[in-house]
Amino acid sequence: MLYRRKKLGGKPVRPPTILSELLDEYGNFARRVRDLAEETILEQRLYIARFLEAQPFSTPAELFASLNTMRVQRFVFKYAENHGKGSLRWLQASLRSFLRFCYYQGYVSCDLSAAVPAFRSWRLSSVPKGIDDAKITLLLKSIDSRESRVRLRDLAIIHLLATYGVRGIQIRRLRFDDIHWAKDHIHFRAVKGGRAVVQHLTQQVGSSLLAYIRDERPNSTPHLEVFLTSRPPFHPFRKSGSLSGVIARRLREINVELPEGVSRGTHSFRHAFARRLTGKIPLKYIADMLGHRDLSSTFIYSKVDFIALREAALPWPEEAE
């Protein structure tokens, strides 16, 4: 039974009639009541939409009438089987916020946000897995030889990811004034409480950026971000999954299968970058290049330096005669 909370004037809240209206109403709530950033709202809508699309209901009224703890938990557990920790964290936060919104608006009779299960994640408990260098080379060659509307854009994006190991959000936020052609360096803005990263602008990266900006990037746009969408109205990538979608699509085109646990998105290049340097330069330098403010965030990559770990291992004690 649909529950409707009355407003101060006594008039009940009118629930939306279609799921897209429900998403729009949640977006307005997140903006007006919770004061969330637009980028966060767009990201949360993406994950809430995944939850709604997985439900066997076509209207909000049907959803509200059948929403319960078991339905919420079943979806989250199923999602966790096929997605990484980062995606799962986004889903948990988005779904909790959405369920609180449904209760706040009076669409359901109880707050189901507590029904979203929590998963323990032990720090340094896993080994980071990245795409191997041979597959990166294969991917770059395939894009360079394939005719497409966004060939130069995708080529430049992957060159940046593979060369510098920066986050996808830093690629999305890269602006023209971050590229210092005369000084041969490139600046990536700080994100997630980390440090900004300043790197040497390699000839390969500079050439791929210049080719995209000169020959493929739309000219009639006020945006200062370097990378734009391929269809009008042209604008910067707004969602975190946008660049990962580009990578996944390019991998599908050449039928490349990645090992289990390796992301098909931008983060696999970050892991590959750190793994490539581990054991060759001090961990502090790797932390600086990754933009880590806390060195402990970089310790996870020391686990992939198997040669150093082997040398550090104590000899097995001989049995006393």
Catalytic residue among 45, 129, 167, 217: 167
Catalytic residue among 217, 250, 267, 271: 267
Confirm whether 185 is a catalytic residue.
no
End-to-end CA distance of the chain: 79
* Angle made by CA atoms 41, 93, 83, in degrees to the nearest 5: 100
Catalytic residue among 5, 192, 238, 252: 192
3-state SS track over the chain: CCCCCECCCCCECCCCCCHHHHHHHHHHHHHHCCCCCHHHHHHHHHHHHHHHHCCCCCCHHHHHHHCCHHHHHHHHHHHHHHCCHHHHHHHHHHHHHHHHHHHHCCCCCCCCHHHCCCCCCCCCCCCCCCCCHHHHHHHHHHHHHCCCCCHHHHHHHHHHHHHHCCCHHHHHCCEHHHEECCCCEEEECCCCCCCCEEEECCHHHHHHHHHHHHHCCCCCCCCCECCECCCCCCCECCCCHHHHHHHHHHHHHCCCCCCCCCCCCCHHHHHHHHHHHECCECHHHHHHHHCCCCHHHHHHHHHHCHHHHHHHCCCCCCCCC
> Both tokens of residue 157?
């994006």
Confirm whether 267 is a catalytic residue.
yes
Please name the residues in contact with 25: beta carbons below 8 A apart, sequence gap of 6 or more.
16, 105
How many Cβ atoms sit within 10 Å of the Cβ of residue 40? 16
Confirm whether 4 is a catalytic residue.
no
CA 225, chain centre distance (Å): 18
Confirm whether 153 is a catalytic residue.
no
Confirm whether 239 is a catalytic residue.
no
Catalytic residue among 26, 47, 212, 301: 301
Confirm whether 195 is a catalytic residue.
no
Q: Which residues are catalytic, by number?
A: 167, 192, 267, 270, 292, 301
